[in-house]
Amino acid sequence: MEEIKEQEKTQEQETRQQKKYEKYVKEVTPTHNLWLQMLKAFVTGGIICCLGQFILNCAGQMGLEKQDAGSWCSLILVLLSVILTGFGIYPKIVKWGGAGALVPITGFANGVAAPAIEYKAEGQVFGIGCKIFTIAGPVILYGIFASWLLGLGYWIGKMVGVF
Is residue 97 exposed (0-12), middle (13-18) or buried (19+ Cβ within 10 Å)? buried
Q: Is the pLDDT of residue 5 over 70?
A: yes
Contact 112, 105 (CB under 8 A): no
Which tens digit of pLDDT belongs to each residue from 112-162? Answer: 888 777 777 777 777 767 777 776 777 778 888 999 999 999 999 999 988
Whether the pTM exceeds 0.75: the reply is no
Cα gap 119→132, rounded to integer Å: 8
DSSP, collapsed to helix, strand or coil, labels residue 81 as helix
Which residue type occupies 109? A
